[in-house]
Amino acid sequence: MAKRSQLMKVLSVSIVLLFLISGFSVMAYGSTSSNPSTSSNPSISGVNFQGSSGSYTITISGNNFGPSPVSMPYTGDLNYFRISDASQLGHGEWGYTGDAHHLTYQSWTNNEIVVSGFGGNPGDAIGIALWNPVTGLGATWGGNVPQPPASYPTINSVQFSGSGQNLQIIVNGNNFGTAPVQMPYTGDLNYFGFGDYRTHSSHGSALFGAGFEGWGVISSDSVTLNYLSWTNNQIIISGFSGTYGQDNATVENGDPVLITLWSTNATSYTGPQTMWGGFVSTTAPTTLYTVTFTESGLPSGTSWSVTLNGATKTSSTNTITFNEPNGTYSFSIASISGYSASPSSGSITVNGENVNQAITFKAVTTSTNAITSTNAITSTNYLLYMIIIIVVVIIAVLAVVMAMRRGKNKGGPKQWQEPPKQQPPQQ
């Protein structure tokens, strides 16, 4: 009986362990099978760099990357991943089919991709594009290899509105530089490039670019951009021109895109730069109205500046124009030596119509001349007062002396008289 009881205990424990093990296996299988999604766009939540100049390992985190397209690790190119380096223009494509620069794909899971062998440098602007091997849907990320100098441009946000050829793009950030050409302008520039990483045909994952001139290194884009305005912290684009609509050159809501931006202080493609990546997420078109400042009182050709809502524009004509949606915005007028502006600051309210603000400059007299003139007058008066006082004192002294002399001579000369004789005392 003792042996049978002991055997039953062992059997019970074995059954419990078997149940727990089988239950754990089912839970793990269920959790894993519920993660992959074949109907949603990939999304990139973070990019981490490790290594040093010329040899970086990059970890891309996110969701819906799909299964590994090849056995990992793998060194070479793939149809589903690419890195572009703006400071290596003309030879800065890495890891995509046909690229001369290969990457080593260390691992690829549904929510993490690790690649090594990227030969970038600190501060380089890079863009990452990836596609789910099963769905073909893509995602983009843009930024800089750590650490870019503080003077480099940064993109804080990108807003899209409208659709198709009339897609409006507003880029907000810092250190963009002043407008490289007179705005508005339709064409290509060395300082800005737009890339769509989703094709609208039945094959491939090709992209099209717009608005980029190429720095003389690569061909300029046949699809051009309508640049409406450009300030140090905002760029507004009002749509596409050129060959937009031909082949794959169309933009749709949800497309993954990259924006490459150089500061207008850059003298080559290796200059201050950055990238932004994300999806086109359109809203109803934002209506922009012109806010025009018109000056009077300055000599012809004098340069003057207005800052509206943090954006500064300078002109040597008598008008400066901004484009703003409905809202209230503060403004200030930069001071000009020898002139005062009225008003020198204030606020502008845009409410469904264009706004005009008159600025009057008046010449002012420098305070130095006035002070010198006043001092000269004061010195002259002081000297005159002192002379008058001295003359009055001299006259008074002379009058006193004359009066004293007259007092001594009053009644004529006196006769001398013998003093009386004293009588001797009586006996």
Is the same domain home to 139 and 198? no
Q: How far is 298 from 372, CA to CA, in rounded Å?
A: 27
Question: Both 305 and 268 in a single domain?
Answer: no
Same domain, 144 and 160: no
pTM summary value: 0.66
Do 168 and 268 lie in a common domain? yes
- Please, what sign has the CA dihedral across residues 232, 292, 212, 43? positive
Which of the residues in the chain have pLDDT under 50? Answer: 1-38, 202-205, 369-374, 376-377, 427
Residue 417: predicted pLDDT: 56
Report pLDDT for 285: 65
Question: Is 16 part of a structural domain of the chain?
Answer: no
DSSP sequence for 233-266: TEEEEEEEEETTTSTT----TT-EEEEEEE-TT-
Rounded distance, CA 107 to CA 74, Å? Answer: 8
- Pick from 363, 380, 410: which residue ends a domain? 363
Q: Is residue 426 part of a domain?
A: no
Of 107, 130, 148, which residue constitutes the final position of a domain? 148
Domains of the chain: total: 3
Same domain for 259 and 156: yes
pLDDT score recorded for residue 395: 84
Say how far residue 82 (Cα) sits from the centre of its chain.
Answer: 28
Q: How far is CA 34 from the centre of its chain?
A: 42
**Does residue 347 sit within a domain?**
yes
Residue 33's pLDDT is: 27
Question: In one letter, which amino acid is 216?
Answer: G
CATH number (domain holding residue 294)? 2.60.40.10
Q: What pLDDT shows up at residue 398?
A: 80
Q: 36 phi and psi, to 5 degrees?
A: -60, 140
Instruction: Specify the pLDDT at position 55.
Output: 96
> Residue 401: its pLDDT value, please?
73
- Are 161 and 256 in the same domain? yes
Residue 395, in any domain of the structure: no
Per-residue model confidence (pLDDT) at position 243: 95
* pLDDT for 112: 98
Domain containing 317 equals 289-363
pLDDT at 62: 96
Distances (CA, A) of 324 to 197, 292, 354, 413: 30, 11, 9, 110
Q: List the structure tokens of 391.
A: 């003359």
Q: What is the pLDDT of residue 373?
A: 47
Same domain for 139 and 186, yes or no, is no
| DSSP H/E element including 9 | helix 2-34
246 in the same domain as 182: yes
At residue 218, the pLDDT reads: 93
Of 261, 283, 305, the residue at which a domain comes to its end is 283
